[in-house]
């Protein structure tokens, strides 16, 4: 069971990497804080907090996250929220994933 306010690490089991971010921005594309995959299991930049989709991060604290519920993932170290873009990633050439905004500022839309 996962609740709003929980701090988690997300792992891609096929590649053995965890969703990671740190204070380094992309040099092209969105120029926002980069988000990548990392294998280091002790890395502190891989923690993400589950928040409600609205701009009040405390509005759902302790409530169980339901299947299909729209949530916001906030990078614990920087306070920035997970985003995706139609910009090409400089490494994989797939879509860019970044961290942006703070406490809901500039954070509209949802990821499915």
CATH classification of the domain holding 67:
2.80.10.50
In whole angstroms, how far apart are CA 44 and each of 20, 24, 75, 98, 110? 9, 15, 10, 17, 25
Query: Residue 55 is part of which domain span?
Result: 7-100
105 inside domain: no
> If you average pLDDT over each of 6-10, 83-87, 89-93, which comes out highest?
6-10
Residue 35 lies in a domain: yes
Q: How many domains does the chain have?
A: 1
Q: How would residue 1 be classed by pLDDT, with cut points 50, 70 and 90?
A: confident
DSSP for 21-58? EEEEE-SSTT-SEEEEEE--TT-GGG-EEEEESSS-TT
| Tokens found for residue 17 | 């990497």
State the pLDDT at residue 6. 93
Q: Is residue 29 part of a domain?
A: yes
pLDDT of residue 89: 80
111 in a domain, yes or no? no
Q: Would the pLDDT of 33 be above 90?
A: yes
Residue the block writes with tokens 């405390």: 58
- Residue 34: pLDDT above 60? yes
Bridge partner residues of 29 (DSSP):
none
* Mean pLDDT of the region 11-28: 93
**Residue 107 is assigned to a structural domain of this protein:** no
């Amino acid at each position: 069971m996962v609740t709003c306010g929980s701090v988690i690490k997300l792992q891609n089991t096929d590649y053995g990497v965890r969703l990671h971010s740190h204070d380094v921005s992309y040099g092209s594309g969105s120029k926002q804080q980069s988000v990548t995959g990392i294998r280091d299991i002790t890395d502190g930049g891989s923690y993400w907090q589950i928040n409600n989709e609205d701009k009040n991060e405390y509005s759902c604290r302790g409530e169980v996250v339901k299947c299909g519920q729209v949530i916001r993932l906030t990078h614990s170290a920087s306070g920035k929220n997970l985003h995706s873009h139609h910009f090409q990633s400089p490494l994989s050439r797939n879509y860019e994933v970044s961290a942006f905004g703070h406490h809901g500022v500039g954070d509209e839309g949802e990821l499915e």
